[in-house]
Amino acid sequence: MSRVGLGYDIHRLEPGDGIVIANVRIPCPYRLVAHSDGDVVLHALCDALLGALGAGDLGEMFPDTDPAHAGRDSCEFVKAVLALDAMRPWRIANVDINVIAQAPRLMAHKPAMRARLAELFSLAPSCIGLKARTNEECDAIGAKRAIAAQAIVLLEART
């Protein structure tokens, strides 16, 4: 038996001193506008897991109206989702992620991002698909005003 979940997240970019993507600090002249650290990859992965479990979404678990989540490290969200009782009968088989950003360029950071995701989700790096895409200068992402991520996860029943 298996389950699939799909997640998506987007945050605005504004001038700043760097962003966090897949729990990796990316030096750049931007910051993500978000209540937490704005890690679009971890947010999309959490939503994908929650979707596969039929357990709501990240905003329900960690509302942006709660001051306790201001500036929060998204690794804490990941740990909370992985610790859910609903997760116990399942194991993550693989994840696949698209990061959509015109800027900053992410190619040089992908190995560190994949390694960090493997560590956070207890997966072999070969079980993590990670692609960086631009939006070909279309819309807010293409105009360097936002960054987004899509994620899909496959859960398999533990045997």
Domains with residue ranges and CATH for the chain: 2-157 (3.30.1330.50)
Tens-of-pLDDT digits for all 159 residues of the chain? Answer: 999 999 999 999 999 999 999 999 999 999 999 989 999 999 999 999 999 999 999 999 998 888 887 888 999 999 999 999 999 999 999 999 999 999 999 999 999 999 999 999 999 999 999 999 999 999 999 999 999 999 999 999 998
Contact assessment for residue 8 and residue 149, using Cβ atoms and an 8 Å cutoff: yes
Question: H helices of the chain, where?
Answer: 40-53, 58-61, 74-82, 110-121, 139-142
Contact assessment for residue 134 and residue 30, using Cβ atoms and an 8 Å cutoff: no
Tokens of 6: 């799909």
Q: Is 30 helix (H, G, I), strand (E, B) or coil?
A: strand
Confidence (pTM): 0.96
Of 44, 111, 110, nearest to 81 (Cα)? 44
